[in-house]
Chain A
Amino acid sequence: MSEFKVVGKPMPRDDAWAKVRGDLKYADDFSLPGMLYAKVLRSKYPAAKIISINISKAEQLEGVRAVLTAKDVPHNETVTRFGQSLEVGKGFEGLYRVLADKKVRFMGEAAALVAADTEEIAEEALDLIEVEYEPLPGVFDPIEAMKPGAYLVGEKNTNIIGEFGCGQGDIERGFAEADIIIEDTYKVPFVDHAYLETEGGIAWIDDYGVINIRVGSQVIEHFRDVADVLGLPHNKVRYIGTMMGGGFGGKEDITVETYLALLTWKTKKPVRLVYTREESILCHSKRHPFVMRYKVGARKDGKLNALDAELISDAGAYPYLSPWVTLYATVNAAGPYCIANVRVKSYCVLTNNTFTSANRGFGAPQPNVVYESLMDELAEKLNIDPLEIRRINCLTTGKALSTTGQIFKTHVALPEVAEKAWAALGEPTEFKDENKKIGRGLAIGLMSYGRMTFLHDSSRSFVKLESDGSVLIRSGIPDLGGGQVSLLCQIAAEELGVPMSRIKIYYSDTALTPLAGTTTATRQTYMSGNATLKAAREIRKRVINKAAELLNVNPDKLDIINEKVIVNYDQSQYLPLVKVIKACNTAGIELFYVAQFNAPFTITPDLSNIRGMTFPDFTFGAQAVEVAVDTETGQVEVLKLTTCYDVGKAINPLSVEGQMEGGSIYGMGYALMEEVIMEKGITMTPSYAEYIIPTAADVPEVKAILVESGGGLGPYGAKGIGEPACSIIAPAILNAIYDAVGVRIKNLPATPEKIIRALKKDFFKK
């Protein structure tokens, strides 16, 4: 096959026109006759006993159709599952509780559900539910929560729900041999996904008693968990996944679905539940705060020889994906560096804060903030250029990850991406403002794509060539805006030689589309891309074989281009695709195929000493920034930003650039302005007025540089980019701030106040 027809070309997405016209119906844009409106009663305290709940007044309000509490839920407690095909054990499947029962663990925890004829009546009913609480002291700091005698958040006798360790070599000897040692503690806060579309959906019971839930979800496999809660067979609950207005990991857990299912099951009517922004900020998952204590040792020549890290993550009130995130952080803790002596120990601890779970990067961004800041610190102390010290220490193809020993058989694009990102900053900006100092910073990093290999991940895709040459794809793939769905169309278009406009895809329906696995872990290009590739190639093979027969040529001399099966050395010899299809149909040759693609399968590692392969592969990237810091107000303006990743193969360059550009700003917000401030478990940043994300006026000039090594495990050598894209920018900004004004921020976000407190210590006596 010669050059690509659609792969590698900037293509408009399959869903773009529906979105720009306003035709696409998101989760809240759909309604059914007789639909009821649901509201959730949420705990007023972060930690309290529930002495009693009296729903009688609420039930009697005119227009109220159901009021449910924990006792009405058939199985109020199950375990959290995320579509993995096996029982992982070892604490990865934590408690999932539908409604608070005798105790509440966080402010905003759901305690009761209401369904009523209108939203106003439902809200009024909430006010009529009488809950008697007995406030409890609670615990809000994970380090406090680890201490013996600490307030116990859950029902076990410890708040620690995960402990992980990994490393290699001899850490004590490593430090003994170091010429320089740096020790530091860094902290990162709770942040919110802040997707513009909040959680929500509608559920109804169809003619055959199946509960249908139309919802924005990254994990439609939760249909099984919802069925378990209701005590129904799995085939009696159906998820119809909508295109999401953003996911970023926040729609990975069950959000509204169990509530919808319960209410529709109770009332037998369609029920709608959509969170307000305040509700979303209050009660959906947050990114894990981490306290990270690092000690690194290096030789005079810049070679790292020891790294000792202790990571403590705040799991919030319930486990959800906390053990998983903490494992990611553990494996990522030494970054993309060759270090002979490494020890990492991490803890994942319950508190009475809002529960934490998946957020884009999933535990990789947090340690990256530390190790990339420390690299710059070392560079300065050793008088080595920041780019050079990374060159000296970075991984290369064939080397092994310093934490787990996983060997990089695929391409490692270091130091290439660092050199390119740095060079692309170009000439320094000239600034005539005497109050502003310019600084530049670099950071590199790695992040996995594909799920943890001990989860035994797989994906399936169904591709069909219709008799008129149009193509149908069915895939369970959820799309959160990253172009997941469109990607599969592009692959099928490439393999089957038809334009994108000839492809129709049905997606994200547990009843009607083969399950493609979760849209998480930057896995869809890799997994569902490969499954679709496999299916499309099988059909292509059948078409080509038939055409070869009809044209009397060797099959390897044929190609399908623009709906023609062409002899590649003589383009005048061809058959229209439809003719070949007809011939296949007549001969009884099926032109549909459902393919499964499996990731490598490993066994669950010894969590105290994680060794070997834990992820299929990693994506390597680098980001560089130029900032201007106002030396009197502490405000930081990012002037330029470059982002360079080895994406393996950019199947749709527009999509890949979009992920890199968007990821940079997602990370810029993390670095400079985002924090869900919680004081003793109470959210102090309840709306978009207090929880601020970058606006268009805040963004710098962004340059995305794609490196395409072809060295990925995805289709055409692609790697994943979605999460890696936001995982490296924060320390680049911190390093740039240091370069500008000599202040090292160790506690995100790097607000103007923090910078000024460091610059003007004499003014701030406290």
Chain B
Amino acid sequence: MNQFKYISPKTKDEVLEILKEENIRACLVAGCTNVLPNIRDKKIVSKVLVNISDIEELKGISKEQDKICIGPLTTIAELINSEVILKEGKGLHQAAEQFADPIVRNSATVGGNLVDASPAADMAVPLLALDAILKIESVERKRDVRLKDFFIGPEKTILQEDEMITGIEFESSNINKNGYFIKLGLRKAMAIAVASIAVNLEVRENKIARIRIAMGSVAPTPIRLTVIEEFLKNNEVNDGLIEEAINKVHEEVDPISDIRASEEYRRYVSGILFKRAFEKLTL
């Protein structure tokens, strides 16, 4: 018989204690936008539902010296309303504006979206391009994991059963301020991305000093296109470069065919998304 329990801890440390004790039986719930459908579909059964949605210390957006800190319980709506995010992480801001729909944005959290680890995760893509770092804690230890190393498969992350994300950080820097995000969906709201991209770019004397390219829905996880990043670095920005880069994009992505699109279309349109994001940043 399907038996659930429910606890509502008041502090982060209480949560960590519960995770230590309950381990695989625990399921953290915040916005619940993915958890409840999974309970209905019997993908989550007989868990201890740990409500963390009211824990203040896990919320908030702040700028500390040279980095931006986002609490995992920050909602997508809060990202949109944040001057700091608009200024320091425009790509992330754009992704937030296109996330799901206005109502779900009030509940869905950045941490929740990352932990759900969909290949299409709309928060993961811009945060990868911002080279975000996750603060991960358990009772035993604290560790920093680069988001780049966080996803290991569809809906799979390196997060251990007794761990939780307690912070998401990215640098305050020129490259991070210069970002662009595009999502291609089959309708204009409540759309799961057919493909999505975030590009962050720093150009110096018409050469690409630094570049990060992240994409969603074109691989088993949200990915950084590191081969192309390497290819583009130190090159002069011109049309020939873009053409070559587009071809490399076609090769580096690893999409599948599903009900929303075929693998060929995703491959093709990845090139377009790259071109458009890149052009927006270099015009």
Contacts and interface: CB of A to CB of B under 8 A. Distances in A.
A698 B268 contact: no
6 contacts: A120-B2, A124-B1, A632-B272, A692-B190, A696-B189, A751-B186
A411 B105 CA distance: 52
B259 A677 contact: yes
B188 A756 contact: no
Contacts of B244: none
A685 B259 CA distance: 8
Nearest to A765: B264
Given A689-B192, A764-B268, A753 B262 contact: yes
Nearest to B273: A633
Given A684-B259, A690-B259, A756-B269, A766 B264 contact: yes
B187 A673 contact: yes
Contacts of A1: none
Interface string A243-255: 0000000000000
Given A695-B189, A756-B265, 17 more contacts: A120-B2, A632-B269, A677-B259, A689-B192, A692-B191, A695-B101, A695-B190, A697-B188, A752-B186, A752-B194, A756-B268, A757-B265, A763-B264, A763-B268, A764-B264, A764-B265, A766-B264
Contacts of B187: 673, 692, 694-695, 697-698
Contacts of A685: 259
Contacts of B191: 692
Nearest to A749: B186
Nearest to B260: A690
B271 to A, nearest CB: 9
Main secondary structure of the interface of A (DSSP, over half): loop
Interface in B192-233: 192, 194
B261 interface: yes
Nearest to B184: A633
Contact of B186 (A673, A677, A696, A697): A673
Give the top 5 A-B pairs by smallest Cβ distance, nearest first: A697-B188, A697-B189, A753-B265, A695-B189, A632-B272
B189 A698 contact: yes
A635 interface: yes
Interface residues of A, number: 26
A760 interface: yes
A756 B269 CA distance: 9
Nearest to B1: A124
Contacts of A698: 187-189
Interface of A: 120, 124, 632-633, 635, 673, 677, 684-685, 689-690, 692, 694-698, 751-753, 756-757, 760, 763-764, 766
A545 B213 CA distance: 85
A756 B194 CA distance: 14
A757 B1 CA distance: 50
Contacts of A763: 264, 268
Interface residues of B, number: 22
A757 B262 CA distance: 11
Contacts, number: 53
A694 B191 CA distance: 11
B265 A692 contact: no
Interface in B1-30: 1-2
A635 B259 contact: no
A691 to B, nearest CB: 9
Contacts of B272: 632-633
Nearest to B191: A692
Contacts of A696: 189
A514 to B, nearest CB: 43
Contacts of A766: 264
Contacts of A124: 1
A513 B260 CA distance: 47
Nearest to B266: A753
B145 to A, nearest CB: 29
A632 B273 CA distance: 9
B269 A633 contact: yes
B59 to A, nearest CB: 28
B153 to A, nearest CB: 21
Nearest to B268: A763
Nearest to B194: A752
Nearest to B258: A684
Contacts of A753: 261-262, 265
Contacts of A677: 259
A635 B192 CA distance: 15
B118 to A, nearest CB: 11
A124 B45 CA distance: 13
B273 to A, nearest CB: 8
Interface in B151-188: 184, 186-188
A633 B265 CA distance: 9
Contact of B188 (A684, A695, A751): A695
A692 B186 contact: yes
Contact of B268 (A120, A694, A751, A760): A760
B67 to A, nearest CB: 34
Nearest to B41: A278
Contacts of A695: 101, 187-190
Interface string B240-283: 00000000000000000001111011001100100010000000
B241 to A, nearest CB: 18
Contacts of B189: 695-698
Contacts of A120: 2
A357 to B, nearest CB: 24
Contacts of B194: 752
Contacts of A690: 259-260
Contacts of A632: 269, 272, 276
A692 B194 CA distance: 13
Nearest to B265: A753
B180 to A, nearest CB: 15
A694 B2 CA distance: 37
Nearest to B272: A632
Interface in B67-119: 101
Nearest to A699: B188
Residue of B101, B184, B188, B265 ringed by the most chain A CB atoms within 10 A: B265
A41 to B, nearest CB: 16
Contacts of A697: 187-189
B255 to A, nearest CB: 12
Contacts of B1: 124
A108 B220 CA distance: 31
Contacts of B261: 753
